[in-house]
Amino acid sequence: MKAKLLNVLTVCVVTLIVLSPELVVFGVVWERHIDLVESQSLTCKLNKSSTLNPQLNGTYSSPSQASIQSSDRNVVNQMLTVAEQYKFATILQWFFVLTPIGVGLGIIFYDRYLFYRAAVLKEQVEMLERLWQQSIEQ
């Protein structure tokens, strides 16, 4: 049993060691991707607002201020979307880390459960054999 447990734990640790660099690289790449998408969206928004409002250097009128405020709101909404994507990537990373560990622990606990059930069954059989021997002797 201990050898089997040691083998399972070894496989879990090796799997974690193999997956750890991949997860770190994935996190770095995903973070850079999110930064790139964010900068592109901000550039796009600034280009749209500058083409729609050529009076940005002059006096501000209420319609241009309203369009600037609405573009700011759109940028904030897009930034929230980027933040949600980052949270999803983090959850996905933890999923990839915890899945092998969970499978390993599940196998270990199921193996323990099978040994427990076998021990209970063996005790019940021994008890029934003793009762049967007592009933034969009487």
- Residue 133, class by beta-carbon neighbours within 10 Å (0-12 exposed, 13-18 middle, 19+ buried)? exposed
For residues 119 and 12, the model is more confident at 119
Task: Give residue-wise pLDDT tens across range 82-103.
Answer: 667 778 777 887 888 788 888 8
Of the chain, the percentage scoring pLDDT greater than 70 comes to 75
This prediction has a pTM of 0.42
Query: Strand, helix or coil at 123?
Result: helix
Q: Where are the domains of the chain?
A: 2-97
Of the chain, the percentage scoring pLDDT greater than 90 comes to 14
Which H or E run contains 55? Answer: none
Locate tokens 């930064």: which residue? Answer: 35
Distance CA(62)–CA(71), nearest Å, equals 14
Other CB atoms within a 10 A radius of the CB of residue 42 amount to 13
